[in-house]
Structure 1
Amino acid sequence: MKIEVNGEAREVAAAQLDAALVELGWGEAKVATALNGSFVPAGARGATTLSDGDRLEVLSAMQGG
Protein backbone atom coordinates (compact mmCIF):
# COMPACT_ATOMS: atom_id res chain seq x y z
CA MET A 1 0.00 0.00 0.00
CA LYS A 2 1.08 3.58 -0.51
CA ILE A 3 1.54 5.75 2.56
CA GLU A 4 3.34 9.02 3.26
CA VAL A 5 6.28 8.72 5.67
CA ASN A 6 7.74 11.98 6.96
CA GLY A 7 6.41 13.75 3.87
CA GLU A 8 7.73 11.19 1.38
CA ALA A 9 5.59 8.72 -0.58
CA ARG A 10 6.54 5.14 0.34
CA GLU A 11 5.24 1.69 -0.53
CA VAL A 12 4.85 -0.79 2.36
CA ALA A 13 3.56 -4.35 2.51
CA ALA A 14 2.86 -4.34 6.26
CA ALA A 15 -0.68 -3.77 7.47
CA GLN A 16 0.21 -2.98 11.11
CA LEU A 17 2.22 0.04 12.25
CA ASP A 18 4.80 -1.98 14.21
CA ALA A 19 5.55 -4.20 11.19
CA ALA A 20 5.74 -1.16 8.90
CA LEU A 21 8.35 0.43 11.18
CA VAL A 22 10.48 -2.73 10.89
CA GLU A 23 10.02 -2.73 7.12
CA LEU A 24 11.05 0.93 6.94
CA GLY A 25 14.18 0.38 9.03
CA TRP A 26 13.03 1.63 12.44
CA GLY A 27 12.45 -1.80 13.99
CA GLU A 28 14.55 -1.46 17.15
CA ALA A 29 14.83 2.34 17.20
CA LYS A 30 13.35 4.43 20.01
CA VAL A 31 11.01 6.67 18.04
CA ALA A 32 7.76 8.56 18.46
CA THR A 33 5.03 7.95 15.90
CA ALA A 34 1.99 9.85 14.72
CA LEU A 35 -0.54 8.49 12.27
CA ASN A 36 -2.67 11.02 10.41
CA GLY A 37 -1.76 13.64 13.02
CA SER A 38 -2.54 11.54 16.11
CA PHE A 39 0.18 10.27 18.46
CA VAL A 40 0.46 6.47 18.58
CA PRO A 41 2.14 5.11 21.75
CA ALA A 42 4.67 2.30 21.28
CA GLY A 43 2.38 -0.18 23.03
CA ALA A 44 -0.45 0.47 20.57
CA ARG A 45 1.55 0.07 17.36
CA GLY A 46 0.80 -3.65 16.98
CA ALA A 47 -2.93 -2.96 17.11
CA THR A 48 -2.77 0.05 14.76
CA THR A 49 -3.82 -0.80 11.22
CA LEU A 50 -2.50 1.17 8.28
CA SER A 51 -4.62 2.14 5.30
CA ASP A 52 -3.70 3.27 1.82
CA GLY A 53 -2.98 7.00 1.85
CA ASP A 54 -2.19 7.25 5.59
CA ARG A 55 0.32 9.87 6.75
CA LEU A 56 2.95 8.55 9.15
CA GLU A 57 5.40 10.75 11.03
CA VAL A 58 8.38 9.09 12.73
CA LEU A 59 10.52 11.20 15.05
CA SER A 60 13.66 10.25 16.94
CA ALA A 61 15.12 12.04 19.93
CA MET A 62 18.09 14.31 19.29
CA GLN A 63 20.83 15.06 21.78
CA GLY A 64 22.60 18.33 22.12
CA GLY A 65 22.05 21.66 23.61
Structure 2
Amino acid sequence: MNLQINGNDTEVPSNIENAANLLTHLKLENKIVIVEVNGAIIEKGKHGEAPIMDGDKVEIVHFVGGG
Protein backbone atom coordinates (compact mmCIF):
# COMPACT_ATOMS: atom_id res chain seq x y z
CA MET A 1 0.00 0.00 0.00
CA ASN A 2 1.29 3.45 -0.86
CA LEU A 3 0.86 6.38 1.53
CA GLN A 4 2.20 9.88 1.57
CA ILE A 5 3.67 10.25 5.07
CA ASN A 6 4.90 13.72 6.01
CA GLY A 7 5.18 14.58 2.32
CA ASN A 8 7.14 11.46 1.34
CA ASP A 9 5.76 8.60 -0.74
CA THR A 10 6.04 5.54 1.47
CA GLU A 11 5.26 1.87 0.85
CA VAL A 12 3.75 0.11 3.89
CA PRO A 13 2.41 -3.44 4.33
CA SER A 14 -1.17 -3.96 3.15
CA ASN A 15 -2.21 -5.31 6.58
CA ILE A 16 -2.07 -1.79 8.04
CA GLU A 17 -5.75 -1.00 8.47
CA ASN A 18 -5.78 1.98 10.83
CA ALA A 19 -3.69 4.75 12.37
CA ALA A 20 -2.76 2.58 15.38
CA ASN A 21 -1.34 -0.13 13.08
CA LEU A 22 0.62 2.51 11.17
CA LEU A 23 2.13 3.96 14.36
CA THR A 24 3.15 0.46 15.47
CA HIS A 25 4.73 -0.21 12.06
CA LEU A 26 6.68 3.06 12.32
CA LYS A 27 7.67 2.24 15.94
CA LEU A 28 5.89 5.36 17.21
CA GLU A 29 3.17 3.63 19.25
CA ASN A 30 4.74 4.67 22.58
CA LYS A 31 5.46 8.27 21.55
CA ILE A 32 3.32 11.34 22.03
CA VAL A 33 2.11 12.05 18.51
CA ILE A 34 -0.49 13.94 16.56
CA VAL A 35 -1.85 12.08 13.54
CA GLU A 36 -3.65 13.72 10.64
CA VAL A 37 -5.17 11.67 7.82
CA ASN A 38 -6.28 13.49 4.69
CA GLY A 39 -6.49 16.78 6.57
CA ALA A 40 -8.43 15.48 9.59
CA ILE A 41 -6.74 15.24 12.99
CA ILE A 42 -7.34 11.87 14.63
CA GLU A 43 -7.79 11.90 18.40
CA LYS A 44 -5.44 9.54 20.24
CA GLY A 45 -8.30 7.40 21.55
CA LYS A 46 -9.57 6.88 18.00
CA HIS A 47 -6.30 5.77 16.34
CA GLY A 48 -7.59 2.18 16.29
CA GLU A 49 -10.80 3.27 14.55
CA ALA A 50 -9.27 5.63 11.97
CA PRO A 51 -8.94 3.72 8.69
CA ILE A 52 -5.81 4.03 6.58
CA MET A 53 -6.26 3.34 2.88
CA ASP A 54 -4.03 3.23 -0.16
CA GLY A 55 -3.19 6.75 -1.35
CA ASP A 56 -3.96 8.49 1.96
CA LYS A 57 -1.97 11.54 3.00
CA VAL A 58 -0.77 11.14 6.57
CA GLU A 59 1.00 13.71 8.71
CA ILE A 60 2.60 12.55 11.95
CA VAL A 61 4.10 15.00 14.40
CA HIS A 62 5.96 13.68 17.42
CA PHE A 63 7.50 15.67 20.19
CA VAL A 64 11.14 15.52 21.21
CA GLY A 65 12.27 16.82 24.57
CA GLY A 66 15.53 18.57 25.14
CA GLY A 67 17.13 21.26 27.07
Q: TM class, shorter-chain normalised? A: 0.7 to 0.9
Q: Provide the secondary structure at the position in 2 that maps to 1:21.
A: helix
**Separation in 1, partners of 2:28, 2:10:** 14
Runs of 4+ in 1 over 3 A off after TM superposition: none
2:12 paired with 1:12 = yes
Indicate the residue corresponding to 2:43 in structure 1.
41
Structure 1 gaps of 5+ residues are: none
Choose 3-12 or 54-63, whichever is displaced more. 54-63
Name the SS for the 1:22 alignment partner.
helix
| TM-score normalized by the length of structure 2 | 0.85
Shift, 1:34, TM fit: 0.5
Aligned AA (2:46) = A
Deviation at 1:61, TM superposition (A): 2.7
Deviation digits for residues 45-65 of structure 1, max 9, x if unmatched? Answer: 10111111000000123557x
Identity level (%): 27
- Report the number of matched residues: 64
